[in-house]
Structure 1
Amino acid sequence: MTNQLDNKDRLWRLVSAVIIGGCGVVTGAINGLHFVTANPDSFPTIAYSIVLPICLSVGLVAGGWWTGRSSLSAPYTLRIAGWSIVGGGVFSISGGLMIGYQQSMGSVLSEPLFVLIDVSTGGTAIGFAFGLYAVRIKHQAAQLDRYQRRLERERDRFVALFDNLPDPVVQYNFTEGTAIIRVVNPAFERLFDVDGTVAHGSPVGEHIVLSNLEQSAIDLDATLHADSVVQHEVRLKTAVGIRDFRLLVIPPQIATEQTGHIIATDITDRNQHVRRLEVLNRVLRHDLRNAAGIIIGSTDLLRDRLSEPDEVETVRETAFDLVDLSETVGEIETALDCDQRTNGPIALREVLTSCIDQANDDYPDADVRLDRCVRGQVPVIANDRINIALENVIENAIEHNDTETPVVSITVSDEVSDFVSVEIADNGPGLPKRERNVIEQGSESQHHHSLGLGLWFVNWIVVDSGGNVTFDDNEPRGSIVTIHLPSAKLNQQTPTANSMNASEG
């Protein structure tokens, strides 16, 4: 269908070009003949009766060529050709009537036919110019109409988003330095129990009221007057009591229409969940360590009193495992703390080299090596705790290995677009399928869960870095853990392994 329309436009452009250019060719040929056969007696006669019409004819030929080469649609080109014909026709009729009138009055005109042709040429040129002007006006009007329809669609989309957004939203501007509400969405009306018509024109501070503790910590008026986007976690008074919100303020200073927006996202449930987990985590870790310490102390006493102390060794080792688990949970909590971690470009080669050297020092019987690596520093975007994830995978590959010489070979490649892949392969017994499935699914259940936190720890750090972890079998035995990380630009400032270790300390 589109090709048919294009062919139709090309055809009518050609027709219009032939009409306009044809008028120029015909009138130009006649005026050229006049120039050859005429015997004018003065320069003004030559200029006005011959040279000027020839120039207009050449202009019409050029106009026809331009029309045929233009990208105008058929209605526009036909309109230009039509106005050219109308202009030539009107001037020809007017000129003919004038010549006839003068002859009827006894005036004798020399070469009236050439005079009529000259008048027709001028009329055609004027019609062509008027057609261009009319098309330009029509085109601008069509563009304006398209822009208006687009603005209406954008406005309708914005209104639909504004009205259906589940978060309370306020649109405001400043009147004499005071933030005044222009409009609020239905979610704001429901949560703050205020009618939109009542809120309109009232100060923002009358309806967004900070709790007593927040009033001393945050200056709401200064936030509304900020010259950049601002986010705060605040507690606000609502119709259902005091709630926690993430307040996103987009001030009028950065908007084109000098209107700002406040978006309040209710995070009360999330914050309460986090606080409860923090308390439970602290209590469990504290009680777990204390209980494990009591068990270890008791088993030490029993081992001294029993004739066969090996019977309590299993209990003692389990207690130490509980202590290790408590410490691991603490390390995970610290490593994944949002306030302490950052994502940015990291020199992966140097980090890997440091991890390999540390593993070979800690496990002298193991063979940990970097088999293949792409050239350069291998900059990637990652969590600044990515070295902990790499160390964890390497240590697990060694500690769970059942051979005399655990071998861990590492390969770094950038075959996947925009990602760098780190393959950590071992010659151990392999990773149980249950462990793989749980990590790949991203959740656990009572019947499907992993045996520890190590792989979860690795997965959380890698996912937080914008990457992912995959698992595969190694040949002839063992497993391959592949960590995919987003590649970074070489011109970004890339931290080294030493700076990462310093930040951990």
Structure 2
Amino acid sequence: MVVPPWPVVASFAAAGGTALLVRYLWRYRGKPGADWFLASLSAQATWSLSYGVALVTFAEPMRWALEVLSWAAMAGTGVYFLAFALAYTGRGGVVDRARVGFAAFPALVGLIGATNPVHGLAWVDFEVVRVLGVAGATYDMRLWALLSATGGVLLITVGSLLLFDTVVSYGPLYRREAVAVGLSTVPPVAAVLAWLHGVGPVPELSFVTVAFLPHVALDAYAFVGSDMFEFHPATRRVGERAAIDDLGAPVVIVDEQRRVVTLNGAAERAFGVEKAGALTRPLAALLGEEGADPAEAETATVQSGGRRRVFTVTTTPLTDAGGTHVGYTVVFQDVTDERRREQRLGVLNRVPRHNLRNDMTVVQGFTEAAAREVDDPAVRDMLGRAESKAAELVALGEKARTVERVLDSDPRAERVELADLLATVRAEHVGAADANGGRVGTEGTAADEGAEGATVTVEATDAAVTADPAVLQVVVGTLLENALEHAGEAPTVTLSAERRDGGVAVTVADDGPGVPAHELDALSAGAESALEHGSGLGLWLANWGATALGGDLSFDTREGTRATLTVPDGEKREPTGES
């Protein structure tokens, strides 16, 4: 049995290994870059097979034809590998725009080689020589052949650099696999360069197909048994681009000198500019801000399309993979309508409430005076009702002031002893809380009579919490006021506090009929409606205050009403004071 020379065996082995890899990866057709990678491997297999056959073909016409086929396959291997790298790393748009060129380049190289006897652009003085027991070939390459081979090397090099760039920027996912694919091109590229420049002991032979053996091994390591085509960098790259382009808010990327690098469609529409005209312009000039730097401001006002728009500005520094500061991402949020609505609500809120408080105080005073001057019981009763309603409206106005004063103020974080706070709340609503003057119950408890026979008991141990004391006091006071008002005659109300799950739970429990379901439904829905509405601001104030404290407010109405305020304890963080 005659054993073929080792260059022939190596070429056929490279062709067979590549064909097996193509068969394995065939399942990934349609994935980003997969079709182009399969095309590159197919061209590589064709190159290895045709050159292996050429090595045992001494007939010059057939040997020449196989050389032409090898050149066409070499061109396909390089250009298809670049297309794979572009599509795999999320740059498929480049490939789509040049798809015809990528596909036609190998055919063009083959056509130039096939018609070389006519024009001589590829090579001259083609001759078959026997070397190492195989059919080598010598010829002088012309400009076209040199450009084709050099171009193929450059294409593969660029593709490898794209993969290495992905390794650096994409993180640890498939890092070793991407490195293996990039390194796999090194042996064949080195062999091509050596062959082009006649480096080596046998310049009549190309050892590129031999170099395909480690190339195939590295590709097999990268792809066989991994999901490299299932999770690919294209998802991240396209996703990052879509996150900016599809974002409804204007986004502008600027460099360190605040010059526009790119912007999304929303920014073009909002600022009345086109991307091509906006690039390299200062961001301040783009927005019409004279001498101001919008990236350093909290808001920006833009006049565009005959409208004056107000934007909040969020600026985030951009750094490259090495941690070098390269620019900023500036996000604009249109708050024009919100600002106008806030202004209208502010006016509609403060003016009626101010008039309500002042005018209803006057009404209440005149009603009281009139009631003292009349003798008719029916008229006195009507005046008493009017006085009562006036007092309720004045109290409603005061509660609205409390909502604005407490919930719109800067938050604080202080250590609050709940026993003291509950005693203060009790004193505010049922009279002075003097331990010596009130009824003393069990240890740590005290009670006072007040609110038309109501009994309010405080039960608190050493529980404490780090929170805003003003908001906490208002919430508990509002719940107590609600219990005293709606729990019926001579109610019994208990204020208690206990540690619970890393925080505290403050409970206001009464023995009344329970909070009506429609008022709790309004709180759950988050909005008042014509069919489901609360009787006042009390429960809303308690609910908003609980949210401001970062806590939760719940109600149990099975036996009376148990309103429980749960507040997380910020004991481990330093008090922030006024922010």
Instruction: Report the TM-score when normalising by structure 1.
Output: 0.59
- Specify the code of the residue in structure 2 equivalent to 1:347: V
What SS is found at the alignment partner of 2:532?
A: coil
For residues 381-400 of structure 1, the C-alpha deviation after alignment (integer angstroms, 9 at most, x for no partner) is: 56851221111112221233
Q: Is the 8 A contact 1:382 1:462 kept in 2?
A: no
Q: How far, CA to CA, are the matches of 1:464 and 1:244 in structure 2?
A: 27
Task: Summarize the Cα distance change of 1:132–1:354 in structure 2 as closer, same or farther, 3 Å threshold.
Answer: farther
Q: 1:397 aligns with which of 466, 471, 483?
A: 483
Q: 1:207 aligns with which of 280, 283, 286?
A: 286
Q: Is the 8 A contact 2:251 2:267 kept in 1?
A: yes
Asked whether 1:347 is paired with 2:416, we answer yes
Q: Is the 8 A contact 2:505 2:566 kept in 1?
A: yes
For residues 435-464 of structure 1, the C-alpha deviation after alignment (integer angstroms, 9 at most, x for no partner) is: 111112211112221111000001011122
- Specify the code of the residue in structure 2 equivalent to 1:341: D
What SS is found at the alignment partner of 1:207?
A: helix
Q: How far, CA to CA, are the matches of 1:256 and 1:443 in structure 2?
A: 48
For residues 186-223 of structure 1, the C-alpha deviation after alignment (integer angstroms, 9 at most, x for no partner) is: 0011111111111112221221223xxxx6xxx733x6
Q: How far, CA to CA, are the matches of 1:412 and 1:305 in structure 2?
A: 53
Paired position in structure 1 for 2:304? 238
Q: How far, CA to CA, are the matches of 1:487 and 1:147 in structure 2?
A: 48
Q: 1:329 aligns with which of 400, 424, 431?
A: 400
Q: How far, CA to CA, are the matches of 2:532 and 2:311 in structure 1?
A: 36
Paired position in structure 1 for 2:264? 185
Q: How far, CA to CA, are the matches of 2:572 and 2:522 in structure 1?
A: 38
Q: How far, CA to CA, are the matches of 2:505 and 2:271 in structure 1?
A: 50
Asked whether 1:430 is paired with 2:514, we answer yes
For residues 290-327 of structure 1, the C-alpha deviation after alignment (integer angstroms, 9 at most, x for no partner) is: 43134224324432432133331111121122111111
Paired position in structure 1 for 2:562? 480
- Specify the code of the residue in structure 1 equivalent to 2:241: V
Between 152-161 and 230-239, report the one with greater CA deviation. Answer: 230-239
For residues 2-44 of structure 1, the C-alpha deviation after alignment (integer angstroms, 9 at most, x for no partner) is: xxxxxxxxxxxxxxxxxxxxxxxxxxxxxxxxxxxxxxxxxxx
1:150, distance to aligned residue in structure 2 (A): 5.0
Task: Summarize the Cα distance change of 1:298–1:352 in structure 2 as closer, same or farther, 3 Å threshold.
Answer: closer
What SS is found at the alignment partner of 2:313?
A: strand
What SS is found at the alignment partner of 1:425?
A: strand
The structure in which a higher percent of residues are helix is 1
Q: How far, CA to CA, are the matches of 2:223 and 2:514 in structure 1?
A: 71
For residues 416-450 of structure 1, the C-alpha deviation after alignment (integer angstroms, 9 at most, x for no partner) is: xx554333211123211221111122111122211
Q: 2:449 aligns with which of 344, 347, 364?
A: 364
Q: What's the C-alpha RMSD, in Å, of the aligned pairs?
A: 3.7
Between 438-447 and 448-457, report the one with greater CA deviation. Answer: 438-447
Q: How far, CA to CA, are the matches of 2:383 and 2:482 in structure 1?
A: 27
Q: How far, CA to CA, are the matches of 2:403 and 2:538 in structure 1?
A: 9
Q: How far, CA to CA, are the matches of 2:359 and 2:430 in structure 1?
A: 35
- Specify the code of the residue in structure 2 equivalent to 1:468: D
Paired position in structure 2 for 1:288? 356
Q: How far, CA to CA, are the matches of 1:306 and 1:430 in structure 2?
A: 39
Q: How far, CA to CA, are the matches of 2:386 and 2:511 in structure 1?
A: 31
Unmatched tracts of structure 1, length 5 or more: 1-75, 77-130, 225-229
Asked whether 1:311 is paired with 2:349, we answer no
Task: Summarize the Cα distance change of 1:346–1:253 in structure 2 as closer, same or farther, 3 Å threshold.
Answer: farther
Q: Is the 8 A contact 1:383 1:464 kept in 2?
A: no
1:342, distance to aligned residue in structure 2 (A): 1.4
Paired position in structure 2 for 1:194? 273
- Specify the code of the residue in structure 1 equivalent to 2:268: E
- Specify the code of the residue in structure 1 equivalent to 2:456: V
- Specify the code of the residue in structure 2 equivalent to 1:167: A
Q: Is the 8 A contact 1:343 1:383 kept in 2?
A: yes
Paired position in structure 2 for 1:168? 250
What SS is found at the alignment partner of 1:421?
A: strand
Q: 1:299 aligns with which of 354, 357, 367?
A: 367
Paired position in structure 1 for 2:85? none
1:275, distance to aligned residue in structure 2 (A): 0.5
Task: Summarize the Cα distance change of 1:285–1:405 in structure 2 as closer, same or farther, 3 Å threshold.
Answer: closer
What SS is found at the alignment partner of 2:505?
A: strand
What SS is found at the alignment partner of 2:245?
A: helix
Q: How far, CA to CA, are the matches of 1:354 and 1:133 in structure 2?
A: 81
Task: Summarize the Cα distance change of 1:150–1:453 in structure 2 as closer, same or farther, 3 Å threshold.
Answer: same
Q: How far, CA to CA, are the matches of 1:231 and 1:297 in structure 2?
A: 51
Paired position in structure 1 for 2:531? 447
Task: Summarize the Cα distance change of 1:153–1:446 in structure 2 as closer, same or farther, 3 Å threshold.
Answer: same
Paired position in structure 2 for 1:274? 342
Task: Summarize the Cα distance change of 1:262–1:403 in structure 2 as closer, same or farther, 3 Å threshold.
Answer: same
Task: Summarize the Cα distance change of 1:287–1:359 in structure 2 as closer, same or farther, 3 Å threshold.
Answer: closer
What SS is found at the alignment partner of 1:220?
A: coil
Unmatched tracts of structure 2, length 5 or more: 1-176, 178-212, 433-447
What SS is found at the alignment partner of 1:439?
A: helix
**How high is the sequence identity, in percent, across the aligned residues?**
25
Instruction: Report the TM-score when normalising by structure 2.
Output: 0.52
What SS is found at the alignment partner of 1:258?
A: strand
- Specify the code of the residue in structure 1 equivalent to 2:307: G
Q: How far, CA to CA, are the matches of 2:508 and 2:480 in structure 1?
A: 7
How many residue pairs get aligned? The number is 343
1:404, distance to aligned residue in structure 2 (A): 2.7
Asked whether 1:491 is paired with 2:565, we answer no
Matches within 5 A, 1:37-52: none
Q: How far, CA to CA, are the matches of 2:467 and 2:319 in structure 1?
A: 33
Q: How far, CA to CA, are the matches of 1:462 and 1:394 in structure 2?
A: 15
What SS is found at the alignment partner of 1:484?
A: strand
- Specify the code of the residue in structure 2 equivalent to 1:364: E
Task: Summarize the Cα distance change of 1:382–1:304 in structure 2 as closer, same or farther, 3 Å threshold.
Answer: closer
1:140, distance to aligned residue in structure 2 (A): 8.5
Q: How far, CA to CA, are the matches of 1:292 and 1:376 in structure 2?
A: 42
Between 160-169 and 438-447, report the one with greater CA deviation. Answer: 438-447
For residues 331-352 of structure 1, the C-alpha deviation after alignment (integer angstroms, 9 at most, x for no partner) is: 1111121xx2316465363544
Asked whether 1:262 is paired with 2:300, we answer no
Q: Is the 8 A contact 2:506 2:564 kept in 1?
A: yes
